Amino acid sequence: MTGQHLLLGQVLRFDGTPFADIGAARHIRRGAVLVVDGRIADHGDADALCAAHPQATRHDYGAGLITAGFVDAHVHYPQTAIIASWGKRLIDWLNTYTFPEEMRFGDPDVAAEIAARYLDLTLSHGTTTACSYCTIHPESVDAFFTAAQARGLRALAGKTCMDRNAPDGLRDTAQGAYDDSRALLNRWHGVDRLSYVITPRFSPTSTPEQLDALGALWAEHPDCLMQTHLSEQVDEVEWVHDLFPEARDYLDTYERFGLLGPGAVFGHAIHLTGRERARLKDTGASLIHCPTSNTFIGSGLFDMDGLMAEGQRIGLATDTGGGSSFSMLRTMAAAYEVAQLMGRALHPAELYWLATAGSAQALRLDEKIGNIANGLEADLIVLDLASTPAIAQRAARADDIWEALFPTIMMGDDRAIRQVWIGGVPRG
């Protein structure tokens, strides 16, 4: 869809991080966003923009809240069909549910079916960008990127590399991981709105030789991100220590192979040592908070307040399917609950920033998506702040936008997503 479009409604955007200053969250009660050829061209007061752009097609959402689309910074799309599986912690979860499911993704038809289902489910929940692990099969990467490309999405993904501690049929080799990843990177990275991510699953499933090969690949392509897992559960940390007795800590199993630096994206990061925290900050790596997963499989409580105070780069994620929801609203609610257990009530502005601008920043995409600012790609959603009777009755008593938004964060689901815009095109 080309031309000029004016989206009218309440507008929420950020001039900075509300973790530093709540005033960085900007709300316009009757605002507008001007979209021209897929990008945000202007934003501000509705009357002023209507007067300045009388030729623009108007989309009046009334009291709907116009924001950036949600950015999910850590997902496993192949686990879509096993979400909400019962009774396991991390290692048993992988062996019982994840690995048997991922065996199926060498079939291109299976991969295509699940990729389409995952993206349609998350779009219905307002997620406009996701960073996904695939499986060891190149077909799984092709399927995800093909489905994302067909929907016009900005999306990130990579082949998950494993050459030990995984079943037959789910292991590659150090050289195979390098060769497959390089071929997929050359095929997809930078095509349309797609980005390839170098993806060792985690240290226990990669030999030092494979980690070294992937570190070499990243050194050759530093414009790519590198994603993996870090310090998710205590017994996992102990396992890593047994597998890498020469390493100073879990993070060192990546650092010594060139897998730490700007563009490194570490999921979970719960049980960190002081040295790890300092190195993560110094190198500009990103930490991704996965609260529904961390509680669902019993991993622990993420130190949001302490890590933010250190100046860490932090994003938010559903972690499908260890995470128990496709919804970033539910994920924000879980982040609030975890922070409460850690002694801090996160402000609605902080939660919403994490799910949009914060995650975009963690993925090094904040100059493209994650906010309402001139020149950014027009990936936008419109929230209905009265989507259910329970939410509506609480929002009706609100004295400000934060009291009105918070019930949707805590109780909202796909019914709260009134409209999704992808690259300046309304979906549905």
- Reported as a single tens digit per residue, the pLDDT across 81-118 is 999 999 888 889 899 999 999 999 999 999 999 999 99
Q: Given a cut of 70, is residue 255 above it in pLDDT?
A: yes
Question: Do residues 410 and 333 lie in contact, with contact meaning Cβ atoms separated by under 8 Å?
Answer: yes
CATH 3.20.20.140 in the chain is located at: 70-362
Q: Please give the CATH number for the structural domain made up of 4-69+371-427.
A: 2.30.40.10
Residue 397 Cα distances to 252, 391, 405, 408, angstroms? 51, 10, 12, 13
Question: Do residues 271 and 238 lie in contact, with contact meaning Cβ atoms separated by under 8 Å?
Answer: no
What does pLDDT average to over the chain? Answer: 97
In this prediction, what percent of the chain has a pLDDT beyond 90?
A: 97
Of the listed ranges 76-90, 187-201, 248-262, the one predicted with least confidence: 76-90
Residue showing tokens 């890593």: 240
- Residue 3 is predicted with a pLDDT of 86
Mean pLDDT of the region 391-406: 98
- Residue 1 is predicted with a pLDDT of 53
Mean pLDDT of the region 188-217: 98
CATH 2.30.40.10 in the chain is located at: 4-69+371-427
Mean pLDDT of the region 371-396: 98
pLDDT interval class at 2 (50, 70, 90): low
- Fold topology of 70-362: TIM Barrel (3.20.20)
pLDDT tens for each residue of 3-23: 899 999 999 999 999 999 999
Q: Given a cut of 60, is residue 345 above it in pLDDT?
A: yes
- Residue 369 is predicted with a pLDDT of 98
Which has the closest alpha carbon to 217: 167, 180, 163?
180
Residues pairing with 6 in the sheet: 34, 58
The residue with greater pLDDT, 95 or 154, is 154
Which has the closest alpha carbon to 260: 218, 220, 223?
218
Q: Given a cut of 70, is residue 204 above it in pLDDT?
A: yes
Q: 212-216 contacts: CB < 8 A, separation 24 or more?
A: 212/174, 212/257, 212/258, 213/174, 213/175, 213/177, 213/178, 214/161, 214/177, 214/178, 214/181, 214/257, 214/259, 215/257, 215/258, 215/259, 216/178, 216/258
Q: What is the pTM of this model?
A: 0.98
Q: Given a cut of 80, is residue 178 above it in pLDDT?
A: yes
Amino acid 378 reads A
**Degrees, nearest 5: CA angle 174-289-188:** 45
- 204 membership: H or E segment, kind and range: none
Mean pLDDT of the region 239-246: 98
pLDDT tens for each residue of 315-336: 999 999 999 999 999 999 999 9
